Amino acid sequence: IVFVEQADQLEELAKTWGFKTSDIRQLSKHEFFMPGLVDTHIHAPQYSFTGTRVDLPLLQWLTSYTFPTEAKYQDSGFAEEVYTRVVRRTLKNGTTTACYFATIHTDSSLLLAEIIDKFGQRAFVGKVCMDMNDSVPQYREITADSVQETERFVKELLEKKYPRVQPIITPRFGPSCTEDLLNALGDLAQTHDLHVQSHISENEEEVKLVENMFPAYQNYTELYDKNKLLTSKTVMAHACHLSEEELKLFSLRGAAISHCPNSNFSLRSGVLNVRKVLEHSVKLGLGTDVAGGYSASMLDAIRKTMMASNSLQINKVNETGITLEEAFQLATLGGSQ
């Protein structure tokens, strides 16, 4: 927005601001301006199976469908075709800014950033890091390689000097990362002052798995916090099962949560209590979480946010639900924050 003025002095405004009256476009009574939609959590490689394969819970869904699909992105031709489609689609859906997970493959992750820049979308792009994956061993990294390739990804992406595309440190989630990897990624984020994205407390099975894998930590949130990955530049997806103590730590660190209601319903992971999160003064935005979520539309994310809130109200968890105005704010300004 360059200026806001009354429209009854167009010739004077044209002289003042240096435009031609022939450049003016009048909006019809059914048209309006609105902020761009901000998708705070989307998996670009999973777009290839959007709308299908939602018959399993999270951990089984990852090993049966997601990891085998993401392994295909070593093929740059396949990656280019899918990544072009997902960026086109999200832009058509009004998503002007997105926070993308790519895959463990550095070159195809850089290709995603190139495609985003070409289409003019604003985005954070993360090369996924994971050095544990016994169920699909062909889709994991050696710890040192993961760190080295992430450093290369960050360096090469920053050297491109894209005006709207930035790298983001992306450990997949607790169960797929060793403590050594998490710590090294935390150091990298701190050294280069980078944003961080991951998943946290999406479903109860995942939370129990993290407790068993990392018994030295009090909870899932502390695992990220102690490894320098919970900062004011962090976005954590889902957070359906965080404790009061964990929400307080999120608030203290200034870390944000991406609410992904479509995915939470589709994979039967849980229902995030948005009202409770906001009462703890935790930053909150909305995400489509393609392809756990079956729609790449942020308008759908707004609708599902309302449904999730209504379900909590029906079950008397909350006395009041989220209003449409609040949901719209989360999809725009909330996401930008």
Non-local CB neighbours of 240 within 8 Å, separated by 6+ positions: 201, 202, 203, 264, 269, 270, 271, 272
Question: Do residues 113 and 160 lie in contact, with contact meaning Cβ atoms separated by under 8 Å?
Answer: yes
Give the bridge partners for 99, in sequence order.
Answer: 124
| DSSP-derived secondary structure for 178-235 | -HHHHHHHHHHHHHHT-EEEEEES-SHHHHHHHHHH-TTSSSHHHHHHHTT--STTEE
The secondary element (H helix, E strand) that includes residue 306 is helix 298-314
Question: Do residues 221 and 250 lie in contact, with contact meaning Cβ atoms separated by under 8 Å?
Answer: yes
In angstroms, the Cα distances linking 154 to 35, 158, 241, 245 are 29, 6, 32, 33
User: Residue 185's pLDDT is what?
Assistant: 99
CATH domain 38-336 topology = TIM Barrel (3.20.20)
CA 337 to chain centre: 13
Structure tokens of 313?
Answer: 């109200």
User: Residue 9's pLDDT is what?
Assistant: 86
Among 88, 61, 64, which Cα is nearest to 296's? Answer: 88
Cα–Cα dist 333/138, whole Å = 40
> What does pTM read for this prediction?
0.95
User: Residue 259's pLDDT is what?
Assistant: 99
Cα–Cα dist 198/168, whole Å = 10
Question: Do residues 207 and 241 lie in contact, with contact meaning Cβ atoms separated by under 8 Å?
Answer: yes
Q: If you count them, how many residues does the chain have? A: 337
Spell 47-79 as b/e; 16+ CB within 10 A means b.
bbbbeebbeeebbebbbebbbebbbbbeeeeeb
User: Residue 1's pLDDT is what?
Assistant: 78
Non-local CB neighbours of 234 within 8 Å, separated by 6+ positions: 195, 196, 197, 198, 224, 253, 255, 256
Q: Per-residue pLDDT tens, the chain, 337 aa: give them.
A: 788 888 888 889 999 999 998 889 989 999 999 999 999 999 999 999 999 999 999 999 999 999 999 999 999 999 999 999 999 999 999 999 999 999 999 999 999 999 999 999 999 999 999 999 999 999 999 999 999 999 999 999 999 999 999 999 999 999 999 999 999 999 999 999 999 999 999 999 999 999 999 999 999 999 999 999 999 999 999 999 999 999 999 999 999 999 999 999 999 999 999 999 999 999 999 999 999 999 999 999 999 999 999 999 999 999 999 999 999 999 999 999 9
